[in-house]
Structures are given as structure tokens and as C-alpha cells.
Structure 1
Amino acid sequence: MRIDKFLWCVRYFKTRGLAAEAIKKGHVSVNGQTAKASREVYPADKIILRKDQINYEMLILDLPLNRVGAKLVDIYRKDITPAEAFAHLEMLKLTKEYYRAKGTGRPTKKDRRDLEDYVSDEDFYGEIE
């Protein structure tokens, strides 16, 4: 089975086109070698896939005939992604937290004035004469 079709069948990508595009960009390797979309995969192959800033690692157990349901994915692949990869993603999410809730829009005039009071020239240079 082609690797782009396999990644689509086990639900790593929503479409085969997205899977082929990720492979074309070099985000997928099979047994340590960068893969092409037409590369055939077999049971016992190890796939490393870079998606959403995580290097997913999986071992192929069997090849599905067609796209499978989410509950049946574990029959065809074994996820061997290290836990540190997911911990790294959580750290990235924490660094992006701001003082404003996501989706609340631009700062208001009051927010801007509060920021200006907080970061004023006097804080950096002392009293201005």
C-alpha cells in the first residue's frame, strides 16, 4: 500500500492530498529514509511523521483495505511516540498564553492606557526633566 494512502487510512490526515503534500515537504520518513508519496509500506515498517510540531512515531502492524474508523486504528498501527514530544507541545501552549482571553478582540482604550502606565519612560530612565 502507498504511504500516502496508509496515512489517510489510519486517520493521520483528512485527505490523501494533505498526506501527499506532507510527504512532498519531507515531513515523513520510513525506516529512517525520507519517503515519496508512492513508496510502498509493509507491516513492521517504522514511520516518523512530523505534524503540528510533534514527531509522531508509529509501527505498522497490518495494512487496512480502506479508511478505517477511529476506534479501529490501533489494529493497524502501534503508536510509539515518546511522551516527551507531547510534553513539549504542552510547554509551547503555555508560552503562548497572554493576559487576555483568546478571541476577546483588540485591546480597549483602557487596556492600552493601563499598558502605557505600566511601561512608561520613567520606569526605564528615572524622572524625566
Structure 2
Amino acid sequence: MNEQAPLPEIRVDKWLWAARFFKTRQLAIEAINGGKVQVDGQRAKPSRSVRPGSRLEINKGGLTWEIQVLAIDKQRRPASEAARLYEEAEASRLRRQERLREIREMGTAPGADGRPTKRDRRQIQRFTGRGDSDA
């Protein structure tokens, strides 16, 4: 009787939530449906099962994680415990760190949210010559 116990399985959306890749399951589902998550090299549905040994590729916010599932946890735990659920490929980690460094170096322009601040507006007016009191 050499029957092995089946490996534990969990839905990929639940696992991504428990591993703290997404703040809510709904965000995880939206990412999966949008093609941002691949399981074992294939596009997945939120109900797709993952088990220890499964490989995931997660694209989120311009960053990519290539990970291998090490453990299953149905409950969301602190980040230090969630990090034990997976192992990231070294090449993936280095690419992600390089991308973060590039983003930091680019920085954000003042008023990058689309609307200039009062200070920015005054600088624009001085530069374009509009708003002068002698007009």
C-alpha cells in the first residue's frame, strides 16, 4: 500500500491573496482575468488550482515576479509568514530590483497627477507671458 497523500490544493486567487500579492481576492481575480497571472506558463482562471511546485508569473504595476509555490495557506498571515509560501527566482528578483531603481531615478514631475499646483501654474504663466498685469 504505497498510496501517497494528495498534495494540498487551493484556488490561485485565494493563494495570491494569502501570499499578499493582492490586497483583496477581487483584485487578484481581476488581475487573473486580465491575463496578468500565469500558472505553469499558461493563462489561468481564478478557479485554477495551485499546489506546491506550481510556477506562477505575476505582472503587477509594471513589475514581474516569477515564483514557485512552496506551501499552501488558506488564511492571510503577516507578510513575514506569507513570504514563506513561495520562492522567487533569482533572475526575477534582480530584474524587479533593477526596474524599481529605474522608476526611482525617473522620479515624478511636479503635479504629475495631471493638474498643476498653484506654484506650477504661476511658473507656467511667467514662462508663457500670460497673466501679466500690464496687459
| TM-score, normalised via structure 2 length | 0.74
Q: What is residue 85 of structure 1 aligned with on the other side?
A: 96
Q: Of residues 106, 119, 123 in structure 2, which corresponds to 1:95?
A: 106
Question: What is the letter of the counterpart of residue 16 of structure 2?
Answer: L
Q: What is residue 38 of structure 1 aligned with on the other side?
A: 47
Given that residues 46 and 59 in structure 1 are in contact (C-alpha distance below 8 angstroms), is that contact kept between their aligned partners in structure 2?
A: yes
Q: Does 1:115 align with 2:127?
A: yes
Question: How far did 1:63 drift?
Answer: 0.5
Describe how 1:1-129 pairs up with structure 2 within 5 A: 1-80=10-89, 81-98=92-109, 100=110, 105-106=117-118, 107-109=120-122, 111-116=123-128
| TM-score, normalised via structure 1 length | 0.77
Given that residues 54 and 86 in structure 1 are in contact (C-alpha distance below 8 angstroms), is that contact kept between their aligned partners in structure 2?
A: no
Query: How far apart are the structure 2 equivalents of 1:39 and 1:72?
Result: 23
Aligned length: 115
Given that residues 58 and 65 in structure 2 are in contact (C-alpha distance below 8 angstroms), is that contact kept between their aligned partners in structure 1?
A: yes
Unaligned runs of 5+ in 1: 118-129
Give the % identical residues.
28
Given that residues 37 and 57 in structure 2 are in contact (C-alpha distance below 8 angstroms), is that contact kept between their aligned partners in structure 1?
A: yes
Q: Deviations over 1:64-98 (max 9, x none)?
A: 13111111012211122231233123323433533
RMSD: 2.2
Unaligned runs of 5+ in 2: 1-9, 130-135
Question: How far did 1:116 drift?
Answer: 3.6
Query: How far apart are the structure 2 equivalents of 1:58 and 1:77?
Result: 6
Question: What is the letter of the counterpart of residue 43 of structure 1?
Answer: P
> Mean Cα displacement is larger for which, 72-81 or 86-95?
86-95
> Mean Cα displacement is larger for which, 78-87 or 7-16?
78-87
